[in-house]
Amino acid sequence: MKHITGVAGVVVAAMMLAGCSSGGTTATDSSGNPTGDITVLTNRTDLVDTVFADYKATFEKKYPDVKVTFEAITDYESEVTTRLGTKDYGDVLGIPASVTKDQLANFFEPLGKVTDMAKDYRFIAEQAFDGTVYGLPTFGGANGFVYNKKTWADAGVTTNPKTPEEFITDLKAIQAKGAAIPLYTNYKDGWPLGQWQGFRGTSGDKEIVQTMDKSDAPWSAGSDQYLIDSLLFNAVSNKLTEPDPLTTSWEGSKGLLATGKVGTMALGSWAIVQFQKAAKDAGADPADIGYMPFPHQVDGKFHSVIAGDFKNAININSTHKAAARAWIDWFTNDSGFAASQGAITPKVGSENPSTLADFTKADVQYLELTPAPTDQATVDSDIYNGANIDLFGQVYRQKLVDIARGAAKGDMNSYFDELNQRWAAAKAKAGK
């Protein structure tokens, strides 16, 4: 499993860095005057020569003794995780998801205390350990379904489905019109299947991670995990998704949804502006791009977890930490990046972006998940890594899709039973 291999690499890297630190380091702290050349690693290959080039010019005008070089990486998670085994992972980088919280101090410079920084920034607890912050979010986002409003309206659906059953019924109505694939999984690209995990918390439980970690059978009826994965399974088994999942294309899928050839995709709100641009590029109406919450309500309300995207951090081995810190602070406070992406800005007190107007109209309730206590910070990752269930990856949901479409043995209940057994065994082995 790609994700698990990456984690193993990180563990090895942590051991190597521990050895380096015991023998001394040339690293400097992040105070002092910003000077020197810094390399910024980024996954935004689409923006590095345009938006980021403008950022570089503006930043270097403010800090003339600093020169910024970007390194855009397509397979960001995998490559950066591997490079954490060396000291060569730039001066500033987004923290890969494979790094567990108790490993943060092995790779990254502390940025401040949670208690102090929480006065100014949101989402900082997501990459903090023992009260210390190691990364500042580039932006925040909500979780939902990007959809083509015209496609849904042409099928006679103009209100948000409130239950998984209503959602499936609505997808069938789109299918009956014969003009669009009702739901697109982007199976071949893989990572979009991990977006479904963002629906964890749809029940409104801020401690849903801890709730799941206490369960021996999280894939049981009534749980968030069951709601999420059973909806995906039923959509596929009812043939409401792409007929050939082995040939999907993420970039191409944006145009398909923008022009009404695809009805719906599960994606973070960060994707909305990309689909609006795809609509404009295709000569379609960007106003047709809508955003709907997961079809489940508690006390008559939809819920959506909001969380930070990549967190910018400083390589603990950087020899230009003051310059690296200046870049992170400027990027977070002054670049306007979050607003340009139609995202929630990390600054406390900021207004929600216009891209979430559909959620505002639907009175969707936002929630930020409660971080686990320090002594339980790695319980979740310990269990899902031990169970070889890549909750935020693609492997286990690709198998779910394969079973649902008849390309693998089993059915939904047998697969959920298997997942529950693996989860319970890993939980017991972890002593939780």
Of the candidates 259, 238, 216, 244, the one whose C-alpha atom is nearest the C-alpha of residue 169 is 238
- Tokens describing residue 300: 């008559």
Quote the distance between the C-alpha of residue 170 and its chain's center. Answer: 27
With beta carbons less than 8 A apart as the criterion, state whether 289 and 256 touch.
no
- State mean pLDDT over 145-171: 98
- Decide: 257 and 108 in contact? Cβ < 8 Å: no
Compute the average pLDDT of residues 196-211. Answer: 96
pLDDT at 29: 57
Query: How much is the average pLDDT of 160-186?
Result: 97
Q: Is the pLDDT of residue 15 over 60?
A: no
Largest CA distance in the chain: 68
The model carries a pTM of 0.81
- What confidence score (pLDDT) does residue 392 get? 87
Contact 227, 218 (CB under 8 A): no
Instruction: Give the model confidence (pLDDT) of 35-74 as tens digits.
Output: 999 999 999 988 999 999 999 999 999 999 999 999 999 8
Whole-number pLDDT of residue 269: 94
Mean pLDDT of the chain: 91
Segment 393-408 shows an average pLDDT of 96
- Integer CA distances (angstroms), 356 to 28, 148, 151, 337, in order: 41, 15, 20, 17
| Structure confidence by residue, pLDDT tens digits, 277-327 | 999 999 999 999 999 999 999 999 999 999 998 999 999 999 999 999 999
205 pLDDT higher than 90: yes
Q: How confident is the model at residue 30 (pLDDT cuts 50, 70, 90)?
A: low
